[in-house]
Chains A and B, each alone.
Chain A
Amino acid sequence: MPLLEIRNLKVEFDTARGSFKALDGVDYTVDAGEVLAIVGESGSGKSVAMLAAMGLLPGTATITADKMDFEGLDLRTLSARERRKVIGKDISMIFQEPIASLNPCFTIGFQLGETLKAHTQLKGRQIKERVIELMTSVGIPDPASRYNAFPHQMSGGQCQRVMIAMAIACSPKLLIADEPTTALDVTIQKQILDLLVTLQQDSGMGLIMITHDMGVVAETADRVIVQYQGRKMEEADVLSLFENPQNPYTRALLSALPENATGDRLPTVSDFAEAGGF
């Protein structure tokens, strides 16, 4: 049984100009211990899918799916209270802007402890010990003194490490990372990606990487879903996707990478669209 199984997911938003279809019948499955990458441009619905599964979309969104199961638990029918028991514990998420995701008014240590307070039986000193342990495991130097630091006293890369620590605090079975390194420098990006992959391999959790960066996909994924305008273009394991892309859109995306440039001009996606691909 897959860890997360979503069948025929559709998401529509009510807007002033009528309804807007953000996702149109897409399937997702992730197994335990697997790294799935969802790639697409902005507006392709890559984040919306996972926000829908987490129940984080606003009220203007209409979500329908034939199936939305997490470990046999039907996510469609959960009440808010039941959902809160799962979200943050068994499924957790990391967002793009680490500095914006943390509350500037509370210390790192307090915010990390909140997750543990909500989902575990740990008390007082035990929480602090576990928080310091978590900070060590994500590679924050000198965790005991960083415990009392505020988000603004840390760099973007350090804040993202805190977010990761928060996400893995309750040893989730599924971790969703939504553009986890987009706001970071390449050298920091490398550290964060290595950290995520190491944590994933050590704990055997499922990992979903949402990204628009083909380089990140190449460095982390086992399996890849390519999305465009709310539809799935292609699903393949990472090697066959890069070696032998089937869908014209995937080919367009790969040839728009500057490192694959041949000749003077970069081919763009619209060149391929005009050629009648998709």
Chain B
Amino acid sequence: MSDDVILKVRDLYRTYDIKGGLFRKPTTLTAVKGVNLDVARGSTLAVVGESGCGKSTLARMLTMIDAQTSGTIEIDGLPIDISRTGISREMRQKVQIVFQNPYGSLNPRQKIGHVLEEPLLLNTDTPSAERRDLALEMLQKVGLQPEHYGRYPHMFSGGQRQRIAIARAIMMKPKLLVLDEPVSALDLSVQAQILNLLADLQEEMGLTYVFISHDLSVVRYIADKVMVMYFGEVVEYGTREEVFETPQHAYTRTLFAATPKADVDSIRKRLATKAA
């Protein structure tokens, strides 16, 4: 499995220049500091960290929204450096992204069918009748109905919209899917449905996931490998068992300690300390 690496990142840096003001000198902010990672085909890497730790910046670089400042990204053997080479159709077909907020990531004036067809329209030469068929097929695959084709986003619930966002991302049959907090805006029961859908799709299409989250219980459920980021640096990187059973870095342990525990023993313990 180790030889079949689909995503290879070496020494990745991203800096942002912050403009100076009347009384402020211009400075640079390093959002991602020297990230190295390998993801095997068909597996899931979870990236964990709090807001501002650079996990979304990493996602933006992997999905070619932002260019890296230095370092190399290789997806399925294809080097990615958009500031130098631009983006080709081939690169677009390798990687897609699903965003956190399904209310904000869909155009309210675009019918669902067109949402799904747009990636094909822009990146392939598929004729329109075929695009329509593919979109209808995709609706069923993500658990929606063919009659949803002509509806607008406001007619759907949060969970359904996230299904649409996932459907749009996999229309191009990408190799790698980056999921930026895909379930954190959803209710618990809907969250379970979406996680099941992601597991089904991964099995069916052989997808590789980079799953960005701050919810450790979800990460523990879905990930093969876990990477913990803190202020732009990777402080912990290993298999799920390694990270959850023997966390090495102090920040990882803080994170575990802060996660609410919903088991009966912890509740009993809390009530006992409270009564004392």
Contact surface of A with B, Cβ cutoff 8 Å = 41-42, 156, 185-190, 193, 201, 212-219, 238-239, 242-243, 252-254, 256-261, 264-270
In the complex, which of the residues B189, B222, B258, B268 contacts A256, with contact meaning CB atoms closer than 8 Å? B189
B188–A257 touching, CB < 8 Å: yes
Residue of B nearest to A259 (CB): B217
For the residues of A in contact with B, the DSSP-based class is: helix
A-B contact pairs, 28 of them (CB 8 A): A41-B190, A42-B158, A42-B187, A186-B215, A186-B258, A187-B50, A187-B254, A190-B257, A193-B260, A212-B188, A214-B262, A215-B259, A217-B262, A218-B260, A218-B261, A218-B267, A253-B188, A253-B189, A258-B192, A259-B263, A260-B262, A261-B221, A266-B192, A266-B221, A268-B189, A268-B192, A268-B193, A268-B196
B189–A185 touching, CB < 8 Å: no
The CA-CA distance from A264 to B260 in the complex, in Å, is 23
Chain B residues closer than 8 Å to A261, beta-carbon distance: 221
The CA-CA distance from A203 to B13 in the complex, in Å, is 49
List the count of A-B residue pairs having beta carbons below 8 Å apart.
104
A185–B187 touching, CB < 8 Å: no
B262-276 vs A, Cβ < 8 Å mask (1 yes, 0 no): 111011101100100
Residue of B nearest to A267 (CB): B192
How far apart are B16's CB and chain A's nearest CB, in angstroms?
19
Residue of B nearest to A237 (CB): B271
B271–A252 touching, CB < 8 Å: no
Which residues 187-219 in B have Cβ within 8 Å of A in the complex? Answer: 187-193, 195-196, 199, 214-218
| Chain B interface, number of residues (Cβ within 8 angstroms) | 37
A239–B221 touching, CB < 8 Å: no
For the residues of B in contact with A, the DSSP-based class is: helix
The CA-CA distance from A269 to B190 in the complex, in Å, is 8
Check B51 for interface membership: any CB of A closer than 8 A: yes
Chain A residues closer than 8 Å to B9, beta-carbon distance: none
A239–B264 touching, CB < 8 Å: yes
Contact surface of B with A, Cβ cutoff 8 Å = 50-51, 158, 187-193, 195-196, 199, 214-218, 220-222, 254-255, 257-264, 266-268, 270-271, 274
The CA-CA distance from A80 to B159 in the complex, in Å, is 39
Q: A41-B190, A189-B258, A256-B191 are in contact. List 4 more A-B contacts (CB 8 A).
A: A238-B267, A242-B263, A253-B189, A266-B195
Given known contacts A185-B50, A186-B214, A218-B261, A256 and B267 CB-to-CB distance under 8 angstroms: no
How far apart are B84's CB and chain A's nearest CB, in angstroms?
35
B51–A185 touching, CB < 8 Å: yes
Chain B residues closer than 8 Å to A267, beta-carbon distance: 192
The CA-CA distance from A62 to B260 in the complex, in Å, is 37
Chain B residues closer than 8 Å to A216, beta-carbon distance: 260
The CA-CA distance from A266 to B199 in the complex, in Å, is 10
Given known contacts A218-B260, A266-B195, A259 and B221 CB-to-CB distance under 8 angstroms: yes
How far apart are B266's CB and chain A's nearest CB, in angstroms?
7
Chain B residues closer than 8 Å to A215, beta-carbon distance: 217, 259-262
A187–B221 touching, CB < 8 Å: no
